[in-house]
Amino acid sequence: MSCTEKNRLLQEYSAATQRLSQVVARYGASLGLAPLERVQVEKIVEEARRIYGQTMAALEAHLLHHGC
């Protein structure tokens, strides 16, 4: 039996993982940029990490409490 909430959370987690991967790659490319531009990229990376952490925690909590 499929759990709709688990599927939704998995999709969010997958999207957050992909986004984090993209911005980390962008950060690597930003090392040659001016400091101000690099700081802007660092903020984007931190936001992606925050969202990734939230989606991972939500998925883990759902799996723990729902048992699916």
Q: What pLDDT, on the 0 to 100 scale, is given for residue 52?
A: 98
Q: How far apart are CA 17 and CA 2, in angstroms?
A: 22
Domain count, the chain: 1
Over range 49-61, report the average pLDDT: 97
Domain that holds residue 27: 4-66
Secondary structure class of 67 (helix, strand, coil): coil
Higher-pLDDT residue of 62, 33: 62
pLDDT of residue 7: 96
What kind and span of H or E run contains 38? helix 35-66
Averaged pLDDT score across all residues of the chain? 91
What does the pLDDT average to over 53-67? 95
Provide the pLDDT for residue 22: 93
